[in-house]
Each structure stands twice: as C-alpha cells, then as structure tokens.
Structure 1
C-alpha cells in the first residue's frame, strides 16, 4: 500500500498535462512630424521643403499556449489630411501587417506560417524596417529548430498577383520567390550566425510573355557579435553571386566592423566602418554587376539617417565606404541623446575626373520616456555635400540639405488574460 501511495504522484503527472494559455491585446499609435529639406537626395532650387505628419496605428492580438502562438496585427498608415473630414469611405492605408501562427510540431521544432516580420541579427539583410510607418513583412513559411544555444531556420516564400487559371507572372514590385537557411550559435559571450539566401526576381519581357522567367541571386555570409569587459564588437561579411534581374552576373560583397566602448554607466562610444562593393561609373558593364544589394534589411539603420544610400536608391551604383562614429549619453533612465558621424566615399570610380568623396553626415537624436507607455523622440540631420555626391545624385544646385522630425509613440497594453491548469492527456 505504501508503494502504491508513492507511485500515485507519478501516475497523476503521466495522465495529467499542464496547460498554459495567454491572450494579450496591445496597441500602437505613432504620429511623426517631418521637415524635409534634402532628405534622401540633394535639395533642388525653387522648390518648397516638404512638411507633413504621418501616423501609424496598430492593434495587436496575441494568443499563446505551449504548442501554438497565434498573432494578428492590422494597421492603418496615413498622412494627416490625405482623407477629407467628411469622406464616406477611407480607401487609404489600411492593411494587415502580420497574421501568423507558430505551431510546435515536436520538442524544439516549430513551423511559423503566414504574414510575418523576418528579422535576423543586426537586420542588415532581413529586418522589419520599423522606422517606416508601414514596416516590412513577408508572406512566408519558416521551419525552426531551436535546441539549447542553437537556432536553425529554413524559410521559403512564393509570391503571385492573384488566383488564376493560366499564367505565372508576378507584376508587383517584390520578389517572386526566396528560400534561405539561417544558423545561429551562442558560445559564452560570442554569438555567430550564417545566412544563405536564394532570392528570385521576376523578369518580364514586354514583347514575348513566354520569355518571362525568375532570375536568382545568392547571398551567403556570416554575422558575429562579441563582448569583452567594457567592449563590444560586431562584424558582417557577405558575398553575393548568381544573376540580377537584368541577367548580369553578380559578383559583390559587403564587409563591416564595429566596436563600442562603455567607459561609464551613462556614456557609450562607438567606431566602425562598412564597405559595400559597387560598379565603376555607377552601372553594370559587360554583363557583370559588382554592386551589392542589402535586399530586405532595415537600411535606415545604416549609412546615415538621411537615407541617401540603399533606402529605395543607390542600387547597382558606385557602392559605398562608410566610416562612422557614435556618441550616446543617458542622462537618466528616461532620457538620452545620440550623435552619429558618417564620412562617405564611393567604393568604385564615380568619374575619371572626380574624387570618391561623397560628403559627410551628422545625425542628432534625443528621446524621453513620459510614462511606461508613452515616449517622444526628436532628430535633426545635416548632410555636408561634395562634388562626388552631386554627381551621384545628379544635382549641382549647392543648397543646404537637412531634415528634422519629432515622433510620439504610444504603446499601451489594453488587455491581458492568462490561465494555468491541468487537463487529461
């Protein structure tokens, strides 16, 4: 009888399974005022600067159990005034940013399906582009194997315009298909990742539809993060090959190295450099393209906040050498200030008679937390030009180029419910 009593708890654990469930609703409201006088490109003569308020509104629903995580995030993105006050219908900006389910198949192995953000490492090749009010998300499937200190992800996506009876041509400005593998390993204070991406872009022949095809490029490389006492460092090394959409042979690379030093609790100093290969005179030649494309990364995070490079621009151009520094200081737990410096050079020849100097950028950003769910950020950037950047941007007007903004983020948690119980297996 005593033996049976001792076995009873084990029998109960076998036949009863603990169940955890959590449901959360949170929201995001983010209006941002911008003054653009040379943002993304040099400011032309006889044109007024742009001023506007854009706003992103999201409502996020999350339901999570031990074996399922379901997430839904509809959003509205607009510019104040783009819909009249008495408009009977709002046709602008409403979309579904995320709608996915992550299903646990067996221990450490799960499958994530649906519209989702894909974010890896420092977001150099895959990022959510959160600065953009609309953000970036993909319709994709990701198989995840994540044992202790190791992550292996296999991702795939295939895009089409619509359900159809015939034809397979994608006309929208996105990739046709992609497949990738991402491996990540943590070892003490060092983490390393390997990424291989097969990226397919749709080529469309305007005369002969039968010649439409998907042309694939491949990107492979590593990202490393490390820490040693008060020092931190990170590095990227990527190589790009295969074919671009114009059927040129790709031979391109990206190399970066950054180091940060924290001499005091409130002060952080950083130095770094990034070299992105490009084409001489700004265009592919003789069927070869030497310009690296960072593809689906959060490019606003890199190469200056004024977005002169790789934010919808500077693709297949002369490349970039970015030597940069950073000083950040936290006044307290609620407020800080960040100053970034960037000195830019072309990675390849701009013109036989021009220096590779692409100018200098200064970025200043400050932030303050008003409450737990409310914060404000403001920034000012100034671009100091050179003959090289005037040639690359095809503007010789000699105007000053600056950009200022202020943004309020309101991110409340509206509702949270959780339950722990046991059920029969």
Structure 2
C-alpha cells in the first residue's frame, strides 16, 4: 500500500504546486449468494431450483482539480466458478462502468461527458440499477444548472456499434439515440417537485430493409412531501410516440404514504398502476407501459417477476403493498407484502376471461452494519401465485416458489490525497 501511495504522489507531484488537487480511491467487493426456486417466474413443471454466488469487484478513482472533476470506475462481474481456477483469462474481463469528465463553468453551470450514471428522483424511469452486479451506465453528454432550490439537467446520447464508414445497422440491444431534460424545484423543506421528459429512439429496418429510428417519449411529474412524521411521494408518467412503426399510448401512476410511528418503527402503504394490453386486444397500439431504464428491482416485489427483463408488452400491473421498517442499533429490518393484479384483461385462447388477481408476494429483508466499511444484508421472499399467473408465466403456482439471498459488501477507502 505504501508503494502505491508513492507512485500516485509522484504522478501528481509534477503539477501539484500549480493547482489544488484531490484524489480519492476506493474499492468495492460484493459477493452475493442466491437460492432461486421460482425467481423471476413460477418454477416450471418438473424443474428444480438452483443456487449460485455472484460477485462485483470495483475500483473507483475520483479526481478533482479546481473546476475539473474526473471519475473512472473499473469493474468485474462474475459468477463463482464460471472459469477454472487456473484460467488464463476471465470470462467477463474488466469493464469500464464509469469514465467521465465534468467541468464546472460557474458555481451553477457544469457539463459532464463520457460513461456515466443517469439517476433521478426515485429511479423509476432513470436509475443506476445497483442491485444488478453489472449495474447500468450510459455514454452521454449532460449539462446541469443547479441552485440551492432548483436543478435543471439535460443531455443526450448517440450510439453506434463501431467506428463505421458507411451506414451500419445498430445491433446492440439498446437505444440508437436519447435526449432528456429533468427539472426539480425544492419549494421548501417539505415540498419538492420534479418533471422528467425522456425521448428514446430505437432503430429498426422496415419492409424495404431501410434503417429507420422511431422515438418514444416518457414524461411526467414526481412529487414529494415530508413533514414531521409524514413522508409521501406521488408520480404519474405517460408514454407516447412510436415503437417499430406502432403507436404508443401507455401510462404509469403511483402513490406512497409513510408514517414514522417511533424513532425505530416506520410503516407505509402504497399503490402503483402500470398500464397493459388485454391478451385478446388485436390493436397494433403499444398500451403496455415500460419503465425503460428504471431500477426496477426496487419496485413490484424483490422476486423480480415484473419489469426486470420480463413482463414487457404484457397485461400491465397493479401493485398494492404495505411497508414495515424497523431499525435498531446497527440492524435494519423490513417486511413488505404485495398483492398483484393485472391492469388489463387476461383472456385465454378459448375466450375465457381469467381473474385479474396474479398473486401475493411476501418480502422480508435485513441489514447489519458489521463494521465501518462492511455491511451484511439478506432476505427471503415467497410468491403465492394464482392460476392467472400460471397462464401468464407458464409455471407451476402450486409449487413452493421462493427466493433467498445473502450479500456482503466491503467498501474500503484505500487512498485519499489532497493538495
């Protein structure tokens, strides 16, 4: 460690006397064990659950020189055992999660370019997706205007598969172009209001093999109110535009109310509606809401049955839930039961309309701050699916569908320097 410090100081020392500088280097090691027995979908007939350990390893460099801020995050994600112990190469290798430079033109105006996280409000539409070991970041340019009470961010991205010399199809499973604007006003200590406008363009080839880009717009407000023991939030997003030459008309709304009963105990309830399309609807209009880049693991149950790389272009969702949180000393506990219903009609090929009730999920989690840089967390979830869930997910609702996990996160600061 001493040698590393000396090398870094020598690199910086050439111009350290000219400008004020700061460097912070930290590390994250995050292995997670999971028992999956009906995770993301009902366990198929005749199948058994499985277990594995995944791991994220990250190295973060944060550098500041007066008005210039630079961040570089390298990471490796792996499943324990995905290569042999004497492997010559890693399966996933080292990836660049973040690599951006930000320049502060004034105290209020700044611009950031490069690989970066786009995360706003409660991350329902734009989020880091930190639960996933790989997480989520974008190659983008963003401009920010921030005052004490008001914030305005706007930015964009334009993607290609490589440095091409002729028009080439964009084959990556992502957007071709993206533009967004986000505004937040903190009226007072109690009330805050944000508005997001997101424009995403996806490339496709038409019947004549011509490459086209259709744009879909996602927009809406996010409202928070916190006063005394009351903590509430509300959001409503609409989606319009086109997707692969089809009209889009979808929406999402939710309300959450939380109340602090004691210093240790907090209770809340909430409801979310994500529009969907009936299974017998022959219209070409896209009516199913898509949270797009949201941190979807944090919504609609931790077993990820909905909107975590699944349930898109489906019957939508209604989610009614209760949240119970208890914190004592270094421990945190939570119990969250969900009741799920379809947002649109579920009709079989025999024209039989099924009940809208999809199932009930019970999530129980804990966290423990073991030491300054070490936290331990885990949980257990169980899904009680219905026959309607069976029809949508093609699994066995009578089987015990459950999921358990245990994660250790080690986050030490390995170097800090200021001149």
**RMSD of equivalent CA atoms:** 1.4
Matched, 1:238 2:275: no
Which residue does the alignment assign to 2:4? Answer: none
Tell whether 2:300 aligns with 1:300: no
Counterpart of 2:99 in structure 1 is 99
- Aligned counterparts, 1:1-400, within 5 A: 20-188=20-188, 189-205=190-206, 208-209=208-209, 211-245=210-244, 247-281=245-279, 285-332=282-329, 334-351=330-347, 352-396=352-396, 398-400=398-400
List per-residue Cα deviations over 1:12-42 (Å, max 9, x = no partner). Answer: xxxxxx9642100000000000000000000
Matched residue SS, 1:170 = coil
When normalised by structure 2's length, the TM-score is 0.92
State the aligned residue count: 397
Deviation at 1:168, TM superposition (A): 3.7
Q: Secondary structure at the match of 1:391?
A: helix
**Could you tell me how far apart the structure 1 residues matched to 2:397 and 2:306 are?**
20
Q: Tell me how far apart the structure 2 counterparts of residues 285 and 173 of structure 1 sit (CA, whole Å).
A: 26
TM-score computed with the length of structure 1 as normaliser: 0.91
| Aligned counterparts of 1:143 and 1:237: Cα–Cα separation in 2 | 25
Conservation of the 8 A alpha-carbon contact between 2:253 and 2:272 = yes
Larger radius of gyration: 1
Map 1:400-411 onto structure 2 (within 5 A).
Answer: 400-411=400-411
Distance 2:67 2:321 in 1: 44
**Aligned counterparts of 2:218 and 2:156: Cα–Cα separation in 1:** 15
**4+ residue stretches of structure 1 with deviation over 3 A?**
none
Structure 1 gap ranges (5+): 1-17, 420-425
Q: In structure 2, how many angstroms separate the alpha carbons of the residues matched to 1:222 and 1:20?
A: 40
Q: Distance in 1 between matches of 2:186 and 2:346?
A: 41
Give how far 1:92 is off. Answer: 1.9
Deviation at 1:263, TM superposition (A): 1.1
CA-to-aligned-CA distance 1:264-318 (integer Å, 9 cap, x gap): 0000101000011000117x63221111100000000000000000000111100
SS in 2 for 1:300: helix
Distance in 2, matches of 1:285 and 1:196, equals: 30
